Amino acid sequence: MSNEPSYLVADIGGTNARFAIARGSVSRGFDLDQVRRLKNEDFEHLRDAAMAYLESCEGDRPGRACFAVASPIRAGRVQLTNATWSFRPDELGGELGMDTLMAVNDFEAQARGAPLTPSVDIVEISDGRPVAGTPVAVLGPGTGLGLGLLVPDGDSVKVVATEGGHAGFAPRTDIEIEVGRVLAREYGFVSWERILSGRGLVNIHRALCQIEGDTWPGHRPEDITREALADPASTGARVVEFFCAALGGYAGDVAVLTGARAGIYLGGGILPRIRTLLEASAFKSRFLGRGPMTRYVSDIPIRLIQSDGAALRGAAALAEQGNLHS
């Protein structure tokens, strides 16, 4: 394995940056070594975090890198959507001593890495019969709400990065309409990300407190999920149930909008922590509630990615692909 290609890979969100050395290939799979998570707030620049990681690593440094970042990717400078860091990939690669450094959207990497995730890290939320030749959608709430697509392209796949989390929230129940109105007064446009993210949990909690005339206790996302897991009668539990039902609606919308009948992967940082609540929630019934399109979505397999390695493996796969095309 030491003779296999290696890549410096990173998954950089609004709160944390995870780095690893990936070894292997798409055909064999990727092993992730020396995985470390750094807090963004501890470093002024991404360069500082990347240098700190490399200084902590043993062995030879890879010559190629791929960083998956929570941002739309354009030529030139990359600015993270929910963080202050910005960088130019060519300049950063030079500073880190890399021959090449690619920057890709985090959910482009998450999408590419989803089918490379070891089966031990996958939980079947809904079994199904995938339709060959159709896309796979990968979505997940974390600091934001990401959406990426895998589209068949001959013997390989194309990865389509999207900003689907910023599509408009579509409430379907009376309480969802009320919450949407509260958030619309505050934000104007209410995207799915305003609901389905860490901040979304807080938004739902604040809105429910306002609707019910209660004082908001200032809970953070982790406070809400902890309360929900501990007490099924708590406000936190109602927030998480709202969240999971809305996620089912969003995932169903994604399926019919993109034709993703080969499967839906659920990723992001929130869902693995609330897996038991997700499985017991209205997620699946909301996903299936499509009126005349219920049969269209009924056989779509839905899988939860339990580990946080998909984006790192996807970054390695994209680095390998970029190297093959260079």
**169 and 87 share a domain?**
no
> Does residue 300 have a known ligand-binding role?
no
> Does residue 10 have a known ligand-binding role?
yes
Q: pLDDT truncated to tens, each residue of the chain (326 aa)?
A: 457 889 999 999 878 899 999 999 998 899 999 999 999 999 999 999 999 999 999 988 899 999 999 887 888 899 887 778 999 999 999 999 999 999 998 888 988 999 999 999 999 999 999 999 999 999 989 888 989 899 998 878 888 888 899 999 999 999 999 999 999 999 999 999 999 999 999 999 999 999 999 999 999 999 999 999 999 999 999 999 999 999 999 999 999 999 999 999 999 889 999 999 999 999 999 999 999 999 999 999 999 999 889 999 999 999 998 755 44
**pTM of the complete model:** 0.86
**224 and 179 share a domain?**
yes
Contact 299, 128 (CB under 8 A): yes
> Does residue 213 have a known ligand-binding role?
no
**How many domains would you assign to the chain?**
2
> Does residue 97 have a known ligand-binding role?
no
> Does residue 134 have a known ligand-binding role?
no
**100 and 144 share a domain?**
no
Closest C-alpha to 108, from 297, 307, 322: 322
> Does residue 128 have a known ligand-binding role?
no
Q: Domain holding 230: CATH number?
A: 3.40.367.20
Q: Kindly write down the DSSP assignment for every residue of 3-70, as one continuous string.
A: TS-EEEEEEE-SSEEEEEEEEEETTTEEEEEEEEEEEGGG-SSHHHHHHHHHHH--SPPPSEEEEEES
**88 and 132 share a domain?**
no
**Does residue 79 lie in a domain region?**
yes
**Does residue 227 lie in a domain region?**
yes
> What are the φ and ψ backbone dihedral angles of 164, each rounded to 5 degrees?
-65, -20
Residue span of the structural domain in which 74 resides: 6-113+309-325
Distance CA 105, CA 11 (A): 9
**57 and 154 share a domain?**
no
| Helices marked H in 166-231 | 174-187, 198-211, 221-230
Q: Domain holding 316: CATH number?
A: 3.30.420.40
**18 and 105 share a domain?**
yes
